[in-house]
A and B are shown apart, each in its own frame.
Chain A
Amino acid sequence: MSAPRSQNGREDFTEILRLVRPGARVLDVGCEDGELLELLTREKRVDGQGLEISPAGVSACLAKGLAVVQGDGDRDLDHFPTRAFDYAILSKTLQQMREPRHVLSELLRIADQAIVSVPNFGHWRMRVSLMARGRMPETRALPDPWWSTPNIHLCTLRDFIDLCRELDLRVDACAALSAGKPARPIRPDGVFENWRSETALFLLSRRPEDRSHEAPTDLFGEVALPKPEPAPRPRGKRAKV
């Protein structure tokens, strides 16, 4: 490849760094060795918290002095309070979750905005590889064979937009990412983007502007009781959000 690669091979980091407001409270779900959190802390002075499942990743984060919880994005998001963060980041790991729909919904309960990047299975390389070889594509974005890939819930750009719509999420920004190239802002529902974008990065928020945290007033001007917290849902059987 002739194009210069970003140093870490994580071109999404550059775009995330651009999107995050300085001094924000950030939760990085699946933060691995804390590289992104460290970058955000250094460059944007964020108040960062990581969630990471691998002991090696957690140790690396602790050694860097980052706040990190060893835990599972599929299970442990439920324990964070509502709107505890400005941003929840899930970088290229949504497709590795057992319940991506639940995770996405939780991200936007915990944080005001979510930054989510997903590899696009609708990218032309995937389609051509599958068409020509008749086998599960192994591309530079998704290099593992089917039997060892951690990516158990792959989707296309269009699939992801459908899920956002279903969860009533608003796409505030979207960029196509390609190894070694600068991020390219795109309209996620653009006809050709589902072919062209290797990885897509989204800035998401709840739609419409969520004001449920502000106590509504009733007719007599008295402050009404806030809505009770929804009861915890049994795992695997999710009520409509």
Chain B
Amino acid sequence: MDAGADPSPESETGGGTWRFPAGKPLRLDSGATLAPLEIGYKTYGRLNETKTNAVLVCHALTGDQHAASVNPLTGRPGWWDQVIGPGRPLDPQRHFIVATNVVGGCMGSTGPASTNPKTGQPYGLAFPMITIADMVRAQAMLIEALGIETLFAVVGGSMGGMQVLQWAADYPEKLFSAVCIAAAPRHSAQNIAFHEVGRQAIMADPDWKGGAYEAAGVRPEKGLAVARMAAHITYLSEAALQRKFGRELQRDGLSWGFDADFQVESYLRHQGTSFVDRFDANSYLYITRALDYFDLAARHGGTLAEAFRKARGVRFCVLSFSSDWLYPTAESRDIVRALNAAGCRASFAEIETDKGHDAFFLDEPLFDAALRGFFASAALARGLG
């Protein structure tokens, strides 16, 4: 983190929890409604007078609204500090950046750990099933509540990229541009398979207690940690793992047991245990399910281009990473082809990197240059100067 990323007075940070009145429930794809609804959010920068500089940042599976400021729970810097900040592609001195916690999450938005008004207890499995479209619908309610009619850009990676696509399908008239990074138009069998491993790990933990662990005063930490370990492997690449760890040992010689002999084991265990401190197991179940249910084409008669039919006025940028095997480049190409077929203005680049899916969190010069170029030209077209 460079010191320049500290918000200056001109690029102030705001946010909190937005509580929608019970009379304004969130209508869910499942048919259920959710009320009361709270959305945890952060803002960076100021909305300009013409209200044309708002950018919505959508987070990935385990992300949150603390995109560019210290996370109060972990004390760690924002997860997208290299994209958002003074002199960065998204600059609080020029843009009004809004980041929300998705509905179903556990960082301030209504989710399975929130109190069920009917019982006074945490929802647990009584929480309704949510979808990517539900997350986006809740975001749209917040954006409207903030007085923003049109977003200069909606941007996100991984699950965030899926939200971007959903925005383009459901609210194209509210978008000027859209940036979809390392995402897919649907969850593949392999994606679902990995998520199922994670869910089963959580549900196999005796401390999960059918989702009612909070009332029992326990948490399925072991299960959630294993889920995170398995998932984390999919966020990296074989080359990156090999480069980082190889067969390096934790200490001299083998233990001839099942301790973490290899550095990669120790690293994964650390990923697992640090994750349980900041994430709710039921939220993990619900959000992974929302991802598995995501299939944008299926919602539009099986033709992906139909989803973008009304988004012709939106400027798109689709980016993928060459070593991403979770949402490989072919998936992004499908998105681009559908955008082209729908007559949308789209840019697409495959960023050459061996860092895998999580490359969008990292400092990748080509990725940075692509974002800068795209936002600069969009700003020019939007008259943001």
A76-B337, A79-B337, A80-B341 as given contacts; A63 in contact with B347, CB under 8 Å: no
Check A180 for interface membership: any CB of B closer than 8 A. Answer: no
| B262 sits at the interface (CB 8 A) | no
Residue of A nearest to B351 (CB): A55
Is the Cβ of B340 less than 8 Å from the Cβ of A80? yes
| B373 adjacent to chain A (CB < 8 Å) | yes
How long is the Cα–Cα vector from A170 to B315 in the complex, in angstroms?
Answer: 34
CA distance A79 to B304 in the complex (A): 12
Is the Cβ of B372 less than 8 Å from the Cβ of A70? Answer: no
Given contacts A63-B373, A65-B376, contact A79 B349 (CB under 8 A): no
List, in ascending order, chain B residues with CB within 8 A of A58's CB: 348-350
A68 and B347: CB pair below 8 A? yes
Instruction: Specify which chain B residues have a CB less than 8 angstroms from the CB of A80 in the assembled complex.
Output: 340-341
Q: Is A66 an interface residue (CB 8 A)?
A: yes
- B350-A66 in contact (CB<8A): no
Distance A45 CA – B376 CA, assembled complex (angstroms): 17
Please pick, from B345, B348, B374, the residue contacting A70 in the complex, using a CB distance under 8 A.
Answer: B348
Q: Is the pair B315, A67 in contact by a Cβ cutoff of 8 Å? A: yes
Within 8 A of B (CB), among A36-80: 47, 49, 55, 58-59, 61-71, 76, 79-80
**Which residue of chain B is the closest to A48 with respect to CB atoms?**
B345
A49 touches B370 (CB 8 A): no
Looking at the assembled complex, report how far the CB atom of B344 sits from the nearest CB atom of chain A, in whole angstroms.
10
Contact with A along B78-91 (1 / 0, CB 8 A): 00000000000000
Complex CA distance for A49 and B377, rounded to whole angstroms: 13
Q: Is A81 an interface residue (CB 8 A)?
A: yes
Partner of B369 from the list A63, A68, A79, A81 (CB cut-off 8 Å) is A63
**A84 interface residue, CB < 8 Å from B?**
yes
Determine which of A47, A49, A65, A68 lies in contact with B349 in the assembled complex, contact meaning CB atoms within 8 Å.
A68
Interface residues of B in 329-351 (CB under 8 A from A): 333, 336-337, 340-343, 345-351
B377 and A59 within 8 A (CB): no
CB–CB B377/A65 < 8 A: yes
**Max chain A Cβ within 10 angstroms of own Cβ: one of B337, B349, B352, B370:** B349
Q: Which of A62, A81, A84 contacts B374 (CB 8 A)?
A: A62
**Chain B hits for A67, CB < 8 A:** 315, 345-347
The complex places the Cα of A61 from the Cα of B349 at a distance, in Å, of 10
Contact of A71 among B348, B366, B376 (CB under 8 A): B348
- B343: contacting residue among A55, A69, A71, A81, CB under 8 A: A81
Q: CA–CA, A49 to B339, complex, Å?
A: 13
Give Cα A81–Cα B351 distance, bound, in whole angstroms. Answer: 26
Among B347, B377, B380, which residue has the most Cβ atoms of chain A within 10 A? Answer: B347
Chain A neighbourhood of B340, CB < 8 A = 69, 76, 79-81, 84
Chain B residues with a Cβ under 8 A of chain A: 315, 317, 333, 336-337, 340-343, 345-352, 366, 369-370, 372-374, 376-377, 380
Would you list 28 pairs from A and B whose C-beta atoms are within 8 A, ordered by A residue? A47-B345, A55-B352, A59-B349, A61-B373, A62-B349, A62-B369, A63-B369, A64-B373, A64-B377, A65-B373, A65-B374, A65-B376, A65-B377, A66-B373, A66-B377, A67-B315, A68-B347, A68-B349, A69-B336, A69-B340, A69-B346, A69-B348, A70-B349, A76-B337, A79-B336, A81-B340, A81-B342, A81-B343
Beyond A55-B349, A62-B317, A70-B349, 11 extra complex contacts between A and B, CB < 8 Å:
A55-B351, A59-B349, A59-B370, A61-B373, A63-B372, A66-B373, A69-B347, A71-B333, A71-B336, A81-B341, A84-B343
List the 8 shortest-distance A-B pairs measured between CB atoms, nearest first: A65-B377, A79-B337, A62-B373, A63-B373, A62-B370, A69-B348, A58-B349, A79-B340
